[in-house]
């Protein structure tokens, strides 16, 4: 494979993205692929600083538009300094969240008009999108409970700003992801996050290898 492949995993809180990224990375590397695993917001020193402002409970009371601009500020650095260089070297990049998270959280969740987000996206990324997006779908209440438990055991209990939002927000968020998948079926695939970890990993791997074979 001479050209890299950009894969994103999306989903609400507690959908199991981090676990599945680790499994996918390991499986791809066993097949000889050079893989970079990263996350949003984050991936570069500058973007990690912005992450602290956005996901920690005491990170600030941002308006939806302010959140969008901060996310895209971090995303520009992530794309230009990490993702595009890795793809140019023929690597597979797997990111825990990307622009679909902004569409789901700030538009479907917080109600910011979608056309405003798309205008900012076009200005900042000029149409750059993942080759494949896997959306881990889970009931919001179950996902929040999982996420809060994982944060406590993983030492990231302060990164619970979004988990603290009301259930209606998370229900809207889930529908936002389903709508994204419905609008872009060629890029997006929904994975049932209620299944067992191994079963989910097998579905994800099959989707990725199918994408590689089709290129």
State the DSSP code for 89.
Answer: T
Could you give the number of structural domains in the chain? Answer: 1
| Sign of the CA dihedral with 66 first, then 67, 72, and 78 last | positive
On average, the pLDDT of the chain sits at 91
Q: How far apart are CA 105 and CA 64, in angstroms?
A: 9
Helix (H, G, I), strand (E, B) or coil at 42: coil
Band (pLDDT 50/70/90 cuts) for residue 37 is very high
14, HSE (Cβ side, Cα atoms, 13 Å): 22
In this prediction, residue 144 carries a pLDDT of: 80
In this prediction, residue 57 carries a pLDDT of: 65
Residue 213: φ, ψ to 5°: -65, -30
In this prediction, residue 29 carries a pLDDT of: 98
Greatest alpha-carbon pair distance for the chain in Å reads 45
For the segment 139-198, what is each residue's pLDDT rounded down to a tens digit? 988 888 877 777 566 555 555 566 667 788 899 999 999 999 999 999 999 999 989 999
Least-confidence region, from 2-6, 15-19, 96-100, 156-160: 156-160
Between 14 and 65, whose confidence is greater? 65
In this prediction, residue 160 carries a pLDDT of: 58
First to last CA, the chain: 9
For the segment 42-89, what is each residue's pLDDT rounded down to a tens digit? 999 999 999 988 887 666 788 889 999 999 999 999 999 999 999 999
Q: How far apart are CA 129 and CA 100, in angstroms?
A: 9
Between 5 and 61, whose confidence is greater? 5
In this prediction, residue 166 carries a pLDDT of: 78
Domain that holds residue 25: 5-214
Between 31 and 154, whose confidence is greater? 31
Q: How far is CA 149 from CA 88, 154, 163, in A?
A: 38, 8, 11
Q: How far apart are CA 69 and CA 129, in angstroms?
A: 18
In this prediction, residue 211 carries a pLDDT of: 97
- Report, as an integer, the average pLDDT of 23-35: 98
Q: How far apart are CA 93 and CA 81, in angstroms?
A: 13
Please name the residue ranges forming H helices in the chain. Answer: 17-30, 45-55, 64-78, 84-88, 99-102, 114-125, 140-154, 167-183, 197-214
CATH number of 64's domain:
3.40.50.300
């Amino acid at each position: 494979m001479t050209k890299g492949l950009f894969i994103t995993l999306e989903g609400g809180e507690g959908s199991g993205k981090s676990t599945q990224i680790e499994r996918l990375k390991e499986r791809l590397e066993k097949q000889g692929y050079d893989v970079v695993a990263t996350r949003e917001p984050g991936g570069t020193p500058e973007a990690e600083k912005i992450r602290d402002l956005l996901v920690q409970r005491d990170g600030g009371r941002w308006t939806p538009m302010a959140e969008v601009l901060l996310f895209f500020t971090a995303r520009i650095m992530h794309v230009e300094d990490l993702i595009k260089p890795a793809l140019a070297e023929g690597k597979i990049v797997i990111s825990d969240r990307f622009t679909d998270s902004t569409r789901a959280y700030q538009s479907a969740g917080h109600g910011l008009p979608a056309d405003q987000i798309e205008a900012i996206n076009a200005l900042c990324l000029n149409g750059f999108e993942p080759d494949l997006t896997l959306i881990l779908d889970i009931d919001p209440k179950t996902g929040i409970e999982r996420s809060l438990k994982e944060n406590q055991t993983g030492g990231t209990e302060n990164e619970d700003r979004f988990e603290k939002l009301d259930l209606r927000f998370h229900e809207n968020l889930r529908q936002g992801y389903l709508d994204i998948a419905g609008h872009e079926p060629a890029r997006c695939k929904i994975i049932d996050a209620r299944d067992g970890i191994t079963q989910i990993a097998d579905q994800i791997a099959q989707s990725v290898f199918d994408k590689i074979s089709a290129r």
